[in-house]
């Protein structure tokens, strides 16, 4: 097994077809490695970096990244993993988002080894007749095998006719750029497999595919998403990024380090072993946060952010703090329940409003989701509006 293949294979969830892809990578022939991005918002978060890191692995092995700006599919709104249609964007919104999106993407991948394409290059000139020919290459039964589509139909939810075109359009992208490999998260598996069939239908050899894990958000439950408020932005200030990462549940330390920390597997295994031996998770979490902050800023940023975090929240240099014991049964409860139990809010409704108004911070990180599970640790600092900060004590 070559070093290049070992690096590319590491962390992959699904490979289709693994033996063929390994042979292609080891042959030394430059591959066209496709990644489609829908600029549904102007910013990206570290969850997006999981697949971008894998694209960088291909680049470092001498292959070409083919980055497709989904300026047509973004107008449909791919609802992967959702139970309802995502709001489509206007062409102007897509263009504005794409401009800042690319600037952030190039924090991870190499701009010089990247070919940037827009779907409008091939879809912009299509006639209705062309669309009918494209649609005629599949059936409703095939498209509705996609899990979220079939689930919505079974539950009686609306499924727009335009949404059924999404897999076809993503598949035709692979035809247009003649991709050898396509990358995506596990939630994109159906679309990636569908693209192989689209290439076959158009007389091309089917691309190999590689999927990467979906990164859980700060709540430790749902996938990282701006709309869910459980994200760490790539452009967050180092101190803000560090603070958010320190709120990650202990069970995600290894996952975050492996998927977005930019460290070798030996370091990941060291941290895993340290956790299993009973080492303080907070110290290991700080190491994870340092690595990620430095990955997206500069080598010194992680240590500087930790120093600021420690000065403000761990060395008790926050003025006029008060202390309170965490009531029994609250450990592992939601943020709303914790706020109420600590007397920081008069009711669950008020607690929810405080969070929604971005008035609650834990260890310096603004809480985005009122129903996020609070993984309590001794010394955590809660700040609610202008109230005196409250430091948690565990019995």
Q: Which helix (H) or strand (E) holds 392?
A: strand 390-393
Residue 376 Cα to chain centre, angstroms: 24
Which whole number is the average pLDDT over 188-216? 91
- For the cut 80, the answer to whether the pLDDT of residue 185 exceeds it is yes
Rounded Cα distance, 346 and 342, in Å:
10
What's the pLDDT band for 2 if we cut at 50, 70, 90?
confident
Closest CA to 332 of 290, 298, 374, 370: 374
Structure tokens at 232: 């760490």
Rounded Cα distance, 343 and 332, in Å:
17
Rounded Cα distance, 250 and 282, in Å:
8
117: Cβ contacts below 8 Å, ≥ 6 apart: 66, 67, 68, 69, 176, 177
- Report CA Rg, the chain: 23
pLDDT of residue 148: 67
Ordered structural domains, the chain, with CATH: 3-212 (3.40.50.620), 215-317 (1.10.240.10), 319-395 (3.10.290.10)
Rounded Cα distance, 293 and 295, in Å:
5
Q: Is the peptide bond before 17 cis (omega within 30 degrees of 0)?
A: yes
| 3-class SS of residue 222 | coil
Percentage of the chain modeled with pLDDT above 70: 92
Rounded Cα distance, 208 and 8, in Å:
13
Rounded Cα distance, 359 and 64, in Å:
45
Closest CA to 180 of 19, 65, 50, 302: 65
- For the cut 60, the answer to whether the pLDDT of residue 79 exceeds it is no
Dihedral sign for Cα 169, 171, 174, 176, please: negative
Q: What digits encode the pLDDT tens for the residues 242-261?
A: 988 988 888 899 999 999 98
pLDDT of residue 82: 47
Q: Exposed, middle or buried: residue 142 (CB in 10 Å: 0-12, 13-18, 19+)?
A: middle
Which whole number is the average pLDDT over 35-52? 83
Rounded Cα distance, 278 and 107, in Å:
35
Task: Give the position of tokens 């075109």.
Answer: 165
Which whole number is the average pLDDT over 26-55? 87
DSSP state at residue 162: G
pLDDT of residue 313: 65
Which whole number is the average pLDDT over 177-185? 95
293 or 37: which leads in pLDDT:
293
pTM (predicted TM-score): 0.70
What's the pLDDT band for 234 if we cut at 50, 70, 90?
confident
């Amino acid at each position: 097994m070559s070093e290049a293949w070992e690096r590319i294979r590491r962390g992959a969830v699904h490979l289709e077809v693994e033996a063929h892809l390994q042979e292609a990578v080891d042959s030394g022939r430059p591959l066209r490695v496709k990644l489609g991005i829908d600029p549904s918002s102007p910013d990206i978060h570290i969850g997006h970096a999981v697949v971008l890191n894998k694209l960088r692995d291909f680049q470092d092995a001498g292959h070409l990244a083919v980055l497709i700006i989904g300026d047509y599919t973004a107008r449909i709104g791919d609802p992967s993993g959702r139970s309802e249609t995502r709001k489509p964007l206007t062409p102007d919104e897509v263009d504005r988002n794409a401009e800042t999106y690319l600037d952030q993407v190039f924090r991870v991948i190499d701009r010089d080894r990247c070919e940037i394409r827009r779907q409008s290059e091939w879809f912009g000139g299509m006639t209705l007749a062309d669309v009918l020919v494209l649609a005629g290459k599949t059936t409703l039964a095939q498209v509705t095998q996609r899990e979220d589509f079939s689930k919505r139909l079974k539950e009686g939810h609306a499924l727009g006719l335009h949404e059924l075109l999404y897999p076809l359009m993503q598949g035709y992208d692979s035809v247009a750029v003649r991709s050898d490999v396509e990358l995506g998260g596990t939630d994109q598996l159906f679309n990636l497999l569908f693209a192989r069939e689209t290439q076959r239908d158009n007389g091309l050899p089917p691309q190999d595919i590689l999927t990467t894990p979906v990164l859980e958000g700060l709540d430790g439950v749902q996938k990282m998403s701006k709309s869910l408020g459980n994200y760490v932005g790539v452009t967050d200030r180092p101190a803000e990024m560090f603070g958010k990462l320190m709120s990650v549940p202990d069970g995600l330390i290894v996952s975050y380090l492996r998927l977005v920390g930019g460290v070798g597997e030996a370091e990941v295994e060291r941290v895993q072993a340290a956790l299993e031996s009973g080492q303080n998770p907070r110290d290991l979490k700080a190491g994870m946060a340092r690595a990620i902050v430095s990955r997206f800023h500069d080598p010194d940023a992680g240590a500087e952010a930790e120093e600021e975090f420690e000065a403000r929240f761990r060395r008790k240099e926050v003025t006029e703090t008060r202390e309170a014991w965490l009531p029994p049964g609250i450990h592992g409860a939601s943020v709303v329940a914790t706020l109420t139990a600590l007397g920081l809010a008069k009711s669950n409704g008020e607690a929810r409003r405080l969070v929604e108004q971005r008035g609650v911070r834990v260890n310096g990180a603004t809480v985005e989701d009122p129903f996020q599970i609070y993984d309590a640790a001794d010394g955590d600092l809660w700040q609610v509006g202008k109230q005196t900060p409250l430091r948690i004590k565990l019995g």
